[in-house]
Amino acid sequence: DVKVTQSSRYLVKRTGEKVFLECVQDMDHENMFWYRQDPGLGLRLIYFSYDVKMKEKGDIPEGYSVSREKKERFSLILESASTNQTSMYLCASSPGQISGANVLTFGAGSRLTVL
């Protein structure tokens, strides 16, 4: 019954490494999101996408990029990982028109540690 799948639950990387976080949804949702969650700061939006090959910056896009080549897959890329990117990363998706009770379905999260 898993609907939003994040490829890695835990990752440990070194400073300067390129990191890929993959997210796949099987609900045919148009919209996909990447958030990071830190204690005391809550969920902060990094990037989102309303359609294939389309992306929009969220509140904290610096140091990140994204790729959406297929409708079901939304990848978050850390070009050169830094220790301040140690965090829990949550992917989410939602259907169609972003209005009304357009509910996000979240993945289980990827906990990234950068040493």
Partner 1 sequence: GQNIDQPTEMTATEGAIVQINCTYQTSGFNGLFWYQQHAGEAPTFLSYNVLDGLEEKGRFSSFLSRSKGYSYLLLKELQMKDSASYLCAVRDTNYKLSFGAGTTVTVRA
In the complex, least distance from residue 83 CB atom to partner 1, rounded to whole angstroms: 22
The three-state (H, E, C) secondary structure of 18-54, written as one string: CEEECEEECCCCCEEEEEEEECCCEEEEEEEECCCCC
Q: Which stretch binds partner 1 (CB under 8 A): 18-26, 61-69, 75-83, 96-104?
A: 96-104
Q: Is 12 helix (H, G, I), strand (E, B) or coil?
A: strand
| Segment 19 to 78, residues that bind partner 1, using CB under 8 A | 33, 35, 40-45, 48, 58-59
In the complex, least distance from residue 65 CB atom to partner 1, rounded to whole angstroms: 18
The only residue of 18, 98, 113, 115 in contact with partner 1, by rule CB under 8 A: 98
Residue 34 CB-half CA count within 13 A = 29
Does the footprint of partner 1 cover residue 11 (CB under 8 A)?
no
Give the span between the Cα atoms of 57 and 26, in whole angstroms.
24
- Looking at the Cβ atoms of 47 and 81, the one nearer to partner 1 is 47
